[in-house]
Every structure is written in C-alpha cells, then in structure tokens.
A and B are shown apart, each in its own frame.
Chain A
Amino acid sequence: MAIPDLLAALEQHQETRRSIAHIEVTPAREAVFGSLVPPLPEPLEAYLARRRIRLYSHQCAAIEAIREGRSVIMTTATASGKSLAFNLPVFERLVQHPDATALYLYPTKALAHDQLKGIREIEQYTGITTGCAVYDGDTPRSRRPALRERARILLSNPHELHQILPWHDRWRTFFSRLRFVVIDEAHRYRGVFGSHAAFLLRRLLRIAHLHGGTPQFVLSTATVANPGEFACRLCGMPVTVIDDDGSPRGETQFLLCNPYSEGAGEGSTHRAARDLLARCIQHGLQALCFTTSRKHAELLALHTRAALVTAGEEGAALAAYRAGYLPGTRRELEENLKCGHIRGLVSTNALEVGIDVGTLDAVIIAGYPGSIMATRQQAGRAGRRNDGSFAALVASHNPLDQFFMHHPGALFEGASEHAIIDLANPYIVAGHLLCAAAEAPLAAADCARYFGDGSAEIAGALEAQYLLRMSKGRWIYAGRGRATEAVGLGSGSGETYRVLCNGSVLETIDRSQAFREAHPGAVFLHQGETYLVDDLDVEAHRIRLRKEETDLSTEPLTTIEARIIAGRFRRDAGGLGLVFGDVEVVEHTVSYRIKRYDRVIATEPLDLPPLRFATKGVWCTIPETVCDRLARAGLHLAGGLHGAEHALIGIMPSLVLCDRRDIGGFSSSWFPSTGSPAILIYDGVEGGIGLAEKGYALFEAIAAAALAVVRECPCDDGCPGCIYSPKCGNDNQPLDKQATEMVLEEIVALLAGGS
C-alpha cells in the first residue's frame, strides 16, 4: 500500500497539492496470449517451455507476418518481449534454411553487446548453432574472416556497416544468404542520422541483391505516431505494423507536477523533483529520477540526500548515474539496484539507452525530456508486474512542459510524435551516391530503384565535378580518398567540424551546429558532461575545448534573414497562404548569453562570419484583414507575429519528433519575398531534414496547440512558459502577448474555415 500512502501524503502537503496538475491512473491489464500454427520447431518450443514463456498475442502476430515473408515493425511497450518476437522467427528460419544469415543492427556498440547475451542464450538452450557474434570496430582483425565466412547471425551498428559495404566482395557468402535485417531501437534513426541510415540500408539492399540475397526487414521501436510511414521510409519497402500489445501491466499512477502553476514564483523543477524523490524513498519505494543534464543529476542527488537526512531518514542509499561509466562500475550499480542496496538513483537520460536496471517502483522525470516517446520510455521503467507503480513528470518553465500540464490528454491518450525521415536532402543523397558508386558501378536504374527520383540528376552533377565518371552507362567513383570517410552518418551539410578535447576527437558536428553550440566561450554538452570552448577555427574546421565542471550554460543570440527561393506545395484559406518550399537563410550569431540555470549573468559579443545555407521551410502569409483587425484593437502586429513564431516553434516538437534547436524561425510584418506579413519556420539542417515538410502537413494542429499554450498561460505579458524563446536573436523584442493570441486565433480560424 505504499503508493496510495504516498499519494495521500502528497495531498496533505499544501505546496505539493497546489502543484499537482493531474493524476492519470492506468488500470492493470491482463495478458492476452496467442498461439502459432504451425508451432515453432521443437527446440524453440522446448526452450519456451523450459523458460515458462507463453507467447503474447502481438508476438504471435509478428512471427506470423515474418513467416509470410513480410517486413514488420513492432511498436509495443517497453518490456513486452519484442526481442523474443524477432529472435524466434529468425531462429526458425535458420533451422529451416541451414545457409540463411541475419544481420542485426543496433544504434550503439554497447547495445549490440548487451543483446548478444540473449541470442547466445537461445542458441545454447536450443542447440541451434548460429555462431552469433558482434562484428564492429573493436572486432580483432584476425577474427574477422572467420566471422564473415561462418557466422549466421552478426550484430553490428550503422557506422560499422558503412565501413563494411565497400568490402562487400569479402562478405559475398554472408550477403548472398542474407534473409533478415533486424533493426532494434528503430526510433533512434530519425532526423539527420535517420536519413543517413535510410540511405545506408538502401546501399545494403543493393549490395545484397547484387550477390543474390533478398532480406526482409524486422524493426522494433518505441511508440511513434506514424510507425508504418516511418518504417517504410527507413527501409524502403512496405512494412506491416504490429502494435496490438498483449503484454500484461500493473496499475500505474502518473502524476503531473507543475511548480509553475501560478507563473514564475517560489517553485522550481529542481525543488519539486527533490521533494518527490525524497518522499518516494521515505515511503519505501525504490525510485529512479531522470534529469536533463549530469550537473542536475548530481545536485539533485546531493540535495535529496540532505533532505532525507533532515527528515531523520539516514542511510537511504542514493546514487547518481551518468554516461561513460566503466562496465564494471555499471554492473555493480545494476546489482546494487536489483538487490535493493540502492533505494534511489538519479540519472541523466543516458540510462534510457538499453541499460538493464530492471523495473522499479517509481520514476520521477525532472523536466520534460523532449518527447512524449522518451517520457513514456522513462516512465516505463516503473512497473513491477504485481504491485502498482508510480511515475511523475515535473514541468520546467517552457511552452512544451506547460502545454502538457494543461493538456494531460496529449501526453496519455494520443499517439506520440511523428518520427521524421527525410529522403530528399540533396546533400545526404549525394554523399550516399558517392559511397554506392564506390561499392559497385551505379546505373541510372539503380538510382531510381534505390535512391529516389531525383538521384540520377544529382549523380549527373557529381559527374560534372569529376567525382563520378561514366563507364558503359554506369557511374564509378573517381574522387579522392575513400567516399565512406568523407560521408559521416551524423552530419547533413558538406562541411563538418571536429570537436577536439586534449587532442582526441569527441565528435564531429556540422557547420550550423558548430556556430550555434560551439562558438568561443560556449559551454558545450557532450554525453551530459560540460566543456568550455576555447577556440573555433573556421579555416581548419576544428573546435578545441576543455573539460570544465560548471553549472553555467550559454545561449547564442542569432539574427536571421531569410529569402524564399521557390514554393513546392501550397494551400490557401481565406486570404491566408500556407506554403512549403525552398528557402535561403542567413543566420548570424552576434553574441551569447551566459546563464546560471534560468538567470542571465552576462552577455558577450561574438565575431563569427554569417552562416548562409539553403534549406526547406514552411511559411504562412497573413492577410490584410488580420492586420486591420489588430490595428483596430490597438495591438502591435510585429509583436504578434514574433510571438506566434515563438509559440509555433516551441510547440512543434509535441507533434514532430525533434528538438526545438532543429528548427528555426523568422517573422516580419513586411516579408519582401511574399510582399506581406509572414511567419516562416525552417529546418536548421542544410538541405532540409523533413521537419518543415511535416510541419506543413500538421500546421492546423500545431497552430491550435500554440494558441492553447498562449491562452492558458497565467502570465500577463509573455513568459518563458509561452512566447519567450531562449534562442531569440532579438532578445525577445518586440513581443506582444495579446497580439500573439489574436494572430494565432486568426490563423486557426482561417485554416479551419478554408479546409
């Protein structure tokens, strides 16, 4: 009865009670089992029997679809047995076809190693030999030939696959027998990385076909709103969606806690999370708390420990967890959690990724983690089978968090966000055409079949630059060096910057990210650690930084100019025009602010060249009638447009899976390109990454949500919870909250009337 007691205690405490925005109770659910006709091969049935596993309905549905040769994507909940649902049919096929091979791709090396254990276990129980192994950058050279020749299941990651494909001749045996490509954690292949992965998989498919292999794809993902569309874009073929979850679940109480329910006042996310965590531990619940940065994690652990001691609750073991722990430390921590020595753990989002801490009694999420998907994944860590579980989301003071506090339905009832993969970014397409041509001569027919309609035209342009040469109707790679080396899977534009700390490369980032996040003086975040940027060398494409433990953060202030190149799709509604198309943007980062939490300490000037790039955008032109109405009401047009732009950008990540830094905005009461007042939202990645395009499709919903945020915010003149933007280059000037509300009302009304 710990959870009801906890809730009662929270109700009694006045400050806490005020901050409770909502409690969502999800009732317990019985398991729904299924059966397979025909049953699995005997050794696999025996394995299930020995482990006392009965298959849930969704696992059977997945296995049957895979048996029929279809590609599938599974979107059921955390811990619903997705791995088993793809391992069983893979093993079944390997029994039936002693030659068949399967390639498993995981987003990281660590995850592949984690998952190998499960596959080995099936292999050992059943005696079905697959020679399964991890094949990645760490695989010793001497072991590689044998693995390529003999292993029937190989686990790898996209970066390794990118390096493997040019050597496909050595992989002839494996690729010619390839029946399955299994992609776990598919939701992580989105944005720029997703586009790269999509083209990488097309390269894989082309090479497999070349050697006679015809794989089907098996994907698993956290919940996204558009699994079918997403999977089809990722692997380039129609995919069956398996989403009817048959796994059982205990009752959960999900608390939404808003320390800013009365505007910016006494409360803070940090304090509220501390109190909740302390109370969970006091009530005997083993709890896990997620924060957005490592510094927060450590401070929260410290302050919660202090609070517990004050309450006379000594000895409650509380630890902080972060990325980059050595395997030994990690295992020790996992063990201590499992046996209950640790009662509470505060972690950055690093723990989200495939670390097995089992399930706990309670999860507290301090600050919305950026997506509904991540929120559900994190909350999913709470949920012991028999007892109930408790989860809490503590809001920060920004539009997204505040939106969910006022609209719990958006968090609990609907699907989560749309996961976006853009297949039309010409920079990314061009990079993979170069790689493909270096792997095997590339015919125009290959371009159309694998790389999209316009890709032959791009190949032609690459030929004109002597990067490709035409030989008997096929393009062959003729550039310098290795194509795969020039094409990084993490960056969009042609230019990348290396981020160096003590001479070693931490990561590579693209130009726009470098200017925004790694200008001199910036506090740079890498895996939850803070670094201070010493130097950004534009010529050498190099950023030098040093490790610096700090609770400061920096925000660039960027002025933006934008020009429309051409529209592609357009809708009109009562004088309002909504267009998706190509734009050119000039971003100029002129200064940056240094902040300690929410407080600005100083503003420093910067001397960086302006950043000019072509990308995709969605823009909305505002009709005269709306301007007149604003004028009659004595409201400020520019302030309204500016506020609406901020609100739209702030809320867009609730519908489209992205970070608000991935999109940029521009508004003006006289936009020369359209000859009218307009609001523009564009993709921050050179060439576009599909966000604005999805924004065009979902614009009504985005505008309605933006309006709700502005309308429901208790502030008078605008605040970080509604129309203030942390990255505004004009220092949030001019902004007019009333005008913003009116502009958004008009947009929503016109779009509703026109459609």
Chain B
Amino acid sequence: MGTGPLVTTVADSWRQRIDSQQEYEVARDGNIFAVGFAGSCLFSSEYARAVRLKQTLAEHHAGRTLEELFCGAEIDTPCGACYKITSREQIDLRVPDPHRIRERLSSDLTLVCGIGPKIEARLRRRGYATLHDLCSHPRYRAHARGILALLDRSDPGEMRRMVMHRYPASHPRLLGLSAFHAIEDFLFFDIETLGLFSRPIILFGAGRIAGGEIEVCQYLLRDIAEEEAAILATCAHVQRDRTALVTFNGRSFDLPYFNDRRAYYGHPGVAGISHYDLLHFARRRWKHDLPDCRLQTLEHLMHGARRTDDVPSAMVPEFYATYLKTGNPGPLIPIVEHNRQDVVTLARLFQRLFEEWYGNP
C-alpha cells in the first residue's frame, strides 16, 4: 500500500471531500419556504451574525484554556476523565396534585376498553359517572376494577401504558401523569451533537430540581476522545432510580441519538424509563397560536426575551471544529450557554404546560 506523501495526499483529498458536505443551507432573508423545506436552513443574516460571533469570540479569548473559561471540574469514570460544569438557577416548579389527577382519571369511563365517547354518554345518562360506579356494571366491572387497582398503585409507567391505549402521546392526560413522580426525579435532558446522525455528542446537559433551584450538570468534551467517559457520566444521571426524562423532541432525537452513541462504544442502550417529550404537548397547545413550535419560540412566548449571542444549532459543529483545530475555547461559550438555557427552559416550559392544562397548582 502507498507510503508517505501519497497517503498524505489521499487524506487531504478526503478532508476536502468530507468538509464539502453541507450540513445546512443559507437562504435569502425572508425566504420562509426554503426554511420550511430544507432540513436545516439558516437565513443569511443569521448566518452572517453567527460567523461574526465566532470570530469575535476567538479573538477575545485567544490564548486562554478551556478550564479557565468554564469553571468546572475533571471527573473520573471507568472510561477515562471528562469535564463537568455545574450551575444553578432559581426555579419554582410544582407538579399538579396527584389526587386531582387520579380523580380525573377515575371519572374517565373511556379508559375502559370498548367504551368510546358515545357509550360513555349513554352510561352517564344511566348514572355511571365514575369507574367506581362501573364496578357494578355487569359487562365492564372487571376492567374497571383493574384500572382502579392500577391507579391505586400509582406507578407512572404502568399508568402511562394504560392511558396510551386511549389517548395520543400529546394528550394532557399523559402530561398529568407527571404528578406521580417526586419532583427530584425529573431529569431535564438535552445534548449538542456534531450532526444529525451517528457523530459524536460534544455536550451533555442534565438538570435536576433541588430545593427551589435547578442544578444543571454539563459534560463538555475537551476532545472527541472524551465522549465515552461523558456518556458514562451522563448515564449515572439517566439511570438513577425512578428517573423521569423531560426533553424537547427527545423521543425522536436526543434519546435514540444517545443510545446510538452508547451502542457505538459497545454499551447497551437505555430503555424503559418514563419520558415526557414536551414537543408533543407544546404542539398540541400552541400550534394554532405560534408560527412554529421551536423551543426558542416558546421561550419568547413565556418571557418575551430573545436570546442574544446564540449559536444556531446547525452551526454548532463548525464552532466546535474551530475549537478542536485551534485549541481556542472562545467559540464554545455560546454552545455551553445555549445548552444550559435549553435545559432551564425545559423546566420552565414543563411548569407552563401544567398551568395551561391544570391551572396554577
């Protein structure tokens, strides 16, 4: 096989070819159709702003190290070290009252197999108002008793499977089941990746509520080589007993992506944990009121502010690549901040949805 210079030429030509793969397209400002059709598309002004931002950051932080810029600590895992950044923010998150939720469920006759809205109406006319009443119905009593026993056990996973038979994943009934978790069990989870498919995850964000605060742990890859360690560190959060994941589009993206990366390193995937994907609920609630249901649009809805100095998701890979090649950590600032804000916004959005559908608890 070729040696020396030829191999270098070959590697260089592959780099050019790989680098020429477009991950997003830049569209003329105002061309909303392009944004709608292409998977990832940026407006040209957005793109120009991000390129300027990257430059400014690189100039401003030249010569500094990642550890200087991000106050954190190196932690050890069985697969090597990785870098952990911790931050806290005040939050007032309260889940709906579980008694109220149970009450609502136990008066929903349609949870019983074979009862649709029409039969429900007929049963109500005949005086069957709750599942307890149905316990004396000759035909439905067995099933009704089963559901009531299940509600008494208060196991959110079991309840979810039961409710899913009847309602779509975006239904308020399913959001309501979050009432059966302890508030500390929610894990607000978001990842930043180098692409849309089987490429390294460079930043893992995991937030938990503790005493009126959300504590956000972020595992940032100082080099791609730290990915496996960061995956293990993140798993320690995800696989803690009784954990319930809260994500935005995590059912289609974050969780499968995370599992694919675990599989890449030969670790088994994470399965069977409770998962609240807020994208589905948010779409149901706001799709007629908002131009789109992106997390940042919802953020704007909730507190009117827009993020400044943010990095568009599609450009995260090239910001990170600049850091890898130059060692200058400046371009990582907006990535870390973007991810931290996303995690906090997840918790606030969770709260907002409760308020929308269950009133202020």
Q: Which residues on A are within 8 Å of B, measured CB to CB?
A: 166, 169, 210, 424, 426-427, 429-431, 434, 438-441, 452-455, 457-458, 461-462, 464-467, 469-472, 476-483, 485-486, 493-495, 565, 582, 614, 687
Contact = CB atoms under 8 A, between A and B. Distances in A.
B13 A440 contact: no
A427 B1 contact: no
Given A478-B194, A480-B19, A441 B265 contact: yes
Interface stretch (B4-12, B119-127, B212-220, B294-302): B4-12
Contact of A476 (B3, B22, B224): B224
Contacts of B198: 166, 438, 482
A430 B8 CA distance: 11
A494 B225 contact: no
Given A471-B227, A476-B264, A482-B195, 15 more contacts: A169-B260, A210-B266, A430-B14, A434-B18, A457-B7, A464-B8, A465-B14, A469-B225, A470-B225, A477-B199, A478-B224, A478-B324, A494-B10, A494-B14, A582-B2
Interface of B: 1-3, 6-19, 21-23, 79-80, 194-195, 197-200, 223-228, 259-260, 263-266, 269, 317, 321, 324-325
A430 B200 contact: no
Contacts of A452: 1
A283 B53 CA distance: 82
A458 B11 contact: yes
Given A434-B18, A481-B195, A454 B228 contact: no
A169 B269 contact: yes
A424 B3 CA distance: 11
Nearest to B199: A477
B227 A466 contact: no
A540 B224 CA distance: 31
Nearest to B1: A454
Contact of A169 (B227, B263, B317): B263
A480 B1 contact: no
List the 5 closest A-B pairs by CB distance, nearest first.
Answer: A454-B1, A494-B13, A481-B21, A169-B263, A461-B11
B104 to A, nearest CB: 34
Contacts of A476: 200, 224-225, 227, 264
A493 B225 CA distance: 29
Contact of A440 (B12, B266, B325): B266
A481 B13 contact: no
Given A426-B6, A429-B1, A486-B17, A462 B11 contact: yes
B194 to A, nearest CB: 7
A614 B6 contact: yes
B13 A427 contact: yes
B228 A472 contact: yes
A133 B3 CA distance: 44
17 contacts: A166-B198, A426-B1, A426-B2, A426-B6, A427-B14, A457-B1, A457-B3, A462-B11, A462-B14, A464-B8, A471-B228, A472-B79, A478-B224, A478-B324, A480-B317, A482-B197, A485-B21
B3 A467 contact: no
A10 B287 CA distance: 81
B270 to A, nearest CB: 13
A667 B250 CA distance: 64
A480 B18 contact: yes
Contacts of A582: 2, 6
Contacts of B79: 472
A458 B7 contact: yes
Nearest to A479: B18
Contacts of A493: 13
Contacts of B8: 461, 464
A103 B359 CA distance: 57
A467 B15 contact: yes
Nearest to A469: B224
Given A472-B80, A472-B225, A614-B9, A434 B14 contact: yes
Nearest to A476: B224
B11 A465 contact: yes
A477 B260 CA distance: 14
Given A440-B266, A462-B11, A494-B13, A467 B18 contact: yes
Contacts of A478: 194, 199-200, 224, 324
Contacts of B259: 169
Contacts of A454: 1-3, 7
Nearest to B259: A169
B16 A494 contact: yes
A486 B18 contact: yes
B17 to A, nearest CB: 5
**By CB atoms of chain A within 10 A, which of B17, B228, B269, B324 has the most?**
B17
A491 to B, nearest CB: 10
A482 B225 CA distance: 19
A736 B262 CA distance: 68
Given A476-B200, A614-B9, A481 B23 contact: yes
Contacts of B200: 476, 478
B192 to A, nearest CB: 15
**By CB atoms of chain B within 10 A, which of A424, A462, A565 has the most?**
A462
A687 B10 contact: yes
A440 B228 CA distance: 12
A1 to B, nearest CB: 61
A169 B265 CA distance: 11
Contact of B2 (A166, A424, A485): A424
Contacts of A467: 11, 14-15, 18
Given A438-B198, A466-B321, A495 B13 contact: yes
A494 B1 CA distance: 17
A317 to B, nearest CB: 49
Contact of A471 (B6, B13, B17, B224): B224
Nearest to B224: A469
A639 B241 CA distance: 85
A332 B16 CA distance: 49
Nearest to B265: A441
B10 A466 contact: no
Nearest to A424: B1
B179 to A, nearest CB: 33
Contacts of B18: 434, 467, 479-481, 483, 486
A199 to B, nearest CB: 13
Contacts of A485: 21
Nearest to A440: B264
Nearest to B223: A469
A210 to B, nearest CB: 8
Contacts of A427: 10, 13-14
**By CB atoms of chain B within 10 A, which of A166, A458, A471, A480 has the most?**
A480
A431 B13 CA distance: 11
A500 B326 CA distance: 39
Contact of B225 (A429, A461, A464, A471): A471
A426 B228 contact: no
**By CB atoms of chain B within 10 A, which of A439, A467, A494 has the most?**
A494
Contacts of A439: 264
A164 B7 CA distance: 28
Contacts of B317: 480
A476 B201 CA distance: 12
Contacts of B265: 441
A429 B12 CA distance: 14
B10 A461 contact: yes
Nearest to B21: A481
Contacts of A483: 18
**By CB atoms of chain A within 10 A, which of B80, B198, B228 has the most?**
B198
A198 to B, nearest CB: 14
Given A472-B80, A478-B200, A494 B2 contact: no
B271 to A, nearest CB: 12
Contacts of B9: 614
A478 B118 CA distance: 57
B322 to A, nearest CB: 11
A755 to B, nearest CB: 28
Contacts of B13: 427, 493-495
Contact of A480 (B21, B226, B260): B21
A564 B17 CA distance: 27
